[in-house]
Structure 1
Amino acid sequence: MARKVKHEDHVNHEAWAIPYGDLITLLLAFFVVMYAVSSINEGKMRVLSDAMVVAFGGPPRALQPIDIGDHSPRRAMREQSVDLMSITRPIPHPAGIQADLPMSRLPPQRPTEPQVDPQLAELGAEIERKLAELVAEGSVRVHRGKDWLEIEIKADILFPSGSSDLTWPARSIIAEISGVLAEFAYPLRIEGHTDNLPIATTRFPSNWELSAARAGSVVHMLRGGGVAPERMTLAGFGPYRPVDGNDTAEGRNRNRRVTIIVLGDDSVLVPRVGERS
């Protein structure tokens, strides 16, 4: 009996090509899907997403209407041109202005004038009436602002030179002012000012002490005239806030002063003289 010859099995050296071909196919499919996703519009993407959600048993999640119309660049340009036309459409003119009137010929809009506190205006007018003679000769000045009123009194009619003691005529002046101020509830700031001529005495080592002492004398006099003390503060500025030059006797006389500032609002800062309009 003839012996059956056993054939040797041949080793397949190309077996790697099968998984490699599968990998290339999967990569090709992946890139095709990616390309399809990148070129699809938002509406179709939402349709696909909602279809998959419904297929797996859930309700659609799109809260906005699905737009599956034409999204070509030409349509987008048409829609943009329509939007621009709606923006540039002429706006109806308000009543009272002619439509054919050029904008350059329209009357200018005037800013609204700030309203001055009527009680402050009344207070200032009353001070000027009470001290009309001193106002006429320039010894007393009344400066007005929107939320403040300043009564400026020359120190020469209130105090002797180098002193903080009020003269008898000065007491009658302050009494007139306190009689008016006592009727209002506005906060007050009393300021003392001097010229730049130095002073060095036992009582007043400098003009700072002199100006503060003069303001204090006026505060005490106002309190005696019925002005509540909690309404008042005082400050002494010495020669450092002049309203005129100190190179002449007239300028120094103007700088020696006491000012009573009535504040319509205690947060208001009164501008310095020279900054007022």
Structure 2
Amino acid sequence: MRIGLLGTGPWAAMAHAPALSGHGELDFVGVWGRRPDAAKALADEHGVRAYEDVDALLAEVDAVAIALPPAVQAPLAARAARAHCHLLLDKPLAAGVEEGRAVVEAVEESHVASVVFFTARFQATTEAWLAEQAAMDGWFTARAEWLGTVFTSDSPFAASPWRREKGALWDVGPHGLSVLLPVLGDVERVAAAARGPKDTVHLVLQHVSGASSTLTLSLTAPPAAAGVTVELRGKAGATVLPASSDGPVQALTRAADALLASARTGRPHPCDAAFGLRVTEIIAAAEAQLTGD
């Protein structure tokens, strides 16, 4: 499969480009970016072509990986789908529900495969744990804490304008939901949403299974307090998400494998654009509660 990369930022450089160039079943064709000089630098690093015209790249590939802010990703994803390119997308799918819906519509109309890269869902340890828990019933409640240090450390993402604008709810909220939904089922209602320190957000969710869950999300945690915890409680007792040793390149390689499989078989992946849209809808509902809209 011939694949191109849209985006040249830190995530594209540290995860996407290495994963695409090192994948045995992908032909990494080239890079397009909003900054031509950055596109050329990243393309040169991996021995591929830098494209100044995104449509020229879309015309020469079977798929694209997108590593761009959500407000930029969504229209480009729809454009790529209409050009009959399969999509390896980042989370969140879009900066709003309507934009996300436009991506899903383009995917469905063009009959292309799509995978949204929720990092934890493509880590081998997490995938095995989720499958084990999803096969059990009787879950009563869960808590997920995604406490990052993007704005309290020397993170390469600290200069990200969209993260400063949208905060933890939109950046790490999708990670939490991507782990809770396969086990507890879809969210029936955002029962409560409250702000904590800085960009920290607390959510209470009711799921269609009858279970409830809480999420605590932050990009401004003190470094000593940072980390990820997911705990489930139910008839079988309590279980905690085990730590994963997979880095972003390994996880993204597995996401690329999933895209290849979906494109070959025509079967949607559980983390397809439609799932990405559902996550966006839940995040938007929580944001509406926080802002009073």
Band the TM-score falls in, shorter-chain normalisation: under 0.3
When normalised by structure 2's length, the TM-score is 0.24
Q: Quick check: which has more Rg, 1 or 2?
A: 1
When normalised by structure 1's length, the TM-score is 0.26
Per chain length, whose mean CA-contact separation is higher, i.e. which structure has more relative contact order (CA < 8 Å, sep 6+)? 2
